[in-house]
Structure 1
Amino acid sequence: MKVTRYLAGAAGVALMGEGVSLLLDVRDLTDVLVWLGGAVALHDAVIAPLVLLAGLVLVRGCVRGPVRGALVVAGALTVVALPVLLRPGRTANSSVLPLDYPRNLLIAWVTVATVTALVLAVRGLARRRRPPA
């Protein structure tokens, strides 16, 4: 377990380093700071309370954690996809946003739901296999 934790930490530090290197190439940091502030405010004021409320109201017992985790991931995916989903229309250059972003977001949501269902199924099987204490 410690090895996995160290690997995840090292990957996180490497990704943060990549983010800092990309941030150093930005000419106007004001726009970046406004975007980051908006992302933090959106997360803290909208996404987190809705996820916690949905987890409290919709789910009971041991499945609450995975469902809340899935809702957090789905919310983050949605926030990341919002700029291309809310774009004003077709651009003059068709190669700027060439993909079907609503379909791809739906695929990502289905993937999150499937992984959550698999996690819950594996947990359920593990509980059944344990001998009663």
Structure 2
Amino acid sequence: MRAARTAFVVLGALLVAVGAAALVVGVPVGQWPAILVWLVAAVLLHDAVFAPLVLIGTRLLRRTGARTSWARLAIVQVALVVGAALSLVAFPGIRAQELGARNPSVLVFPYALHLALLWGGIAVVTAAAVLLTRPRRRLVGDASR
């Protein structure tokens, strides 16, 4: 376990170094303050909004644990986290379309519709997975025992 953890720390440090090098080489110095603001806002948004929402959602789901299996709870949690991540990725495109782009060829997809379709797909796949994890009941006179 220690070797895997060390490997991940080294890999993370290498990725940070590559990102820093790309910043220094590819981004004009005048844009660095805006990038810093964006990074700080992302950390604050995560720590002040998304992490508490995930905690509250997890607590609410766990309260239903007496009535359903842990596997079903895990399926629903994964679906919610994936949906939230996709929403975060889609939100800038949706917002930019609301504001209007100077170049109409930049925002060519209906991002809000695509996000709604993704949530629908997540709901269908989640429902199917939950139904597949339904406990099987044995009949009293079942000969397959």
TM-score calculated relative to the size of structure 2: 0.61
* Distance in structure 2 (CA, Å) of the matches to 1:122 and 1:25: 49
Deviation digits for residues 30-62 of structure 1 (CA, Å, limit 9, x no counterpart): 322322222222122111211221232256222
> Displacement, 1:98?
1.2
* Distance in structure 2 (CA, Å) of the matches to 1:67 and 1:22: 38
> Displacement, 1:96?
1.4
Q: Which residue of 2 aligns with 1:121?
A: 131
Classify 1:115/1:48 alpha carbon distance in 2 versus 1 (closer, same or farther; 3 Å).
farther
> Displacement, 1:103?
0.2
* Distance in structure 1 (CA, Å) of the matches to 2:39 and 2:109: 25
Task: Give the 4+ runs in structure 1 shifted more than 6 A.
Answer: none
Classify 1:25/1:116 alpha carbon distance in 2 versus 1 (closer, same or farther; 3 Å).
farther
Which stretches in structure 2 are left out of the alignment for 5+ residues?
A: 1-7, 139-145
Which stretches in structure 1 are left out of the alignment for 5+ residues?
A: 1-8
Q: Which residue of 2 aligns with 1:4?
A: none
Give the number of aligned pairs: 115
* Mapped contact 1:81–1:101 kept (Cα < 8 A): yes
* Distance in structure 2 (CA, Å) of the matches to 1:110 and 1:85: 17
Q: Percent identity?
A: 38
* Distance in structure 2 (CA, Å) of the matches to 1:66 and 1:40: 27
Q: Which residue of 2 aligns with 1:54?
A: 57
TM-score calculated relative to the size of structure 1: 0.65
Please give the root-mean-square deviation of Cα atoms over the aligned residues, in Å. 3.1
Is 1:26 aligned with 2:35? no
